[in-house]
Amino acid sequence: MLEQKQSRKELASEQKKLLEALLAGAKAPDGFNQNDIETASDALLRKRIRTMQRAHPQLQKILDNTSNRAILNSFIKANPSCHPDGPRKDGKAFLFYLRIRRWLTHIGL
């Protein structure tokens, strides 16, 4: 039982390291192919944006604006994890972030 628990802990740490590479730009963990991880990371990011747009169709138009695109990039950098409750909540969090950033720009910060 103890061995199983230790094993879980070690495996959890390995899975976390892989996610840091896939979502947060960390180097691929030992033994993984860096190119494969970068390709998968790009695909995950595209999927995240696509599913957010599906849940919030207004995002398509909002993201046509390049300054909003830049705000999306900064949102993703600040929030490398997808929302645990799915794309609807993820998109909602981004829309909130966008509103605050625009407001900060509006008041000159």
Partner 1 sequence: MVADAVAVVEAAAVADPELGIGFRPELAHFIANRSDISFVEIAAEDFVHLQCIPQALRDLKKRGVTIIPHGVSLSLGGAEQIDKRKVSHLRALAEYFDSPFVSEHIAFVRADKLDSGHLLPVKRTASMLNVVCENILSAKEHLGIPLILENIASTFEWPGAEMGEAEFVHAILEKTDCGLLLDLSNLFANSHNLRFDATEYLEELPLQRLEYVHMAGGIFKNGLYHDSHCHPLREQSVRRLSQLKKMCTVPRVMLERDDKFPPSTEIENELGELLCA
Positions that interact with partner 1 (CB under 8 A):
4, 7-12, 14-16, 18-20, 22-24, 30-33, 36-37, 39-40, 43-44, 47-48, 50-51, 54, 80-87, 90
- For residue 24 the two structure tokens come to 């947060």
- For residue 51 the two structure tokens come to 């599913």
Q: Quote the least distance from Cβ 40 to partner 1, whole Å.
A: 5
Q: Quote the least distance from Cβ 12 to partner 1, whole Å.
A: 4
- For residue 106 the two structure tokens come to 């509006």
Closest CA to 52 of 37, 68, 38: 68
- Residue 25 or 104 having the CB closest to partner 1: 25
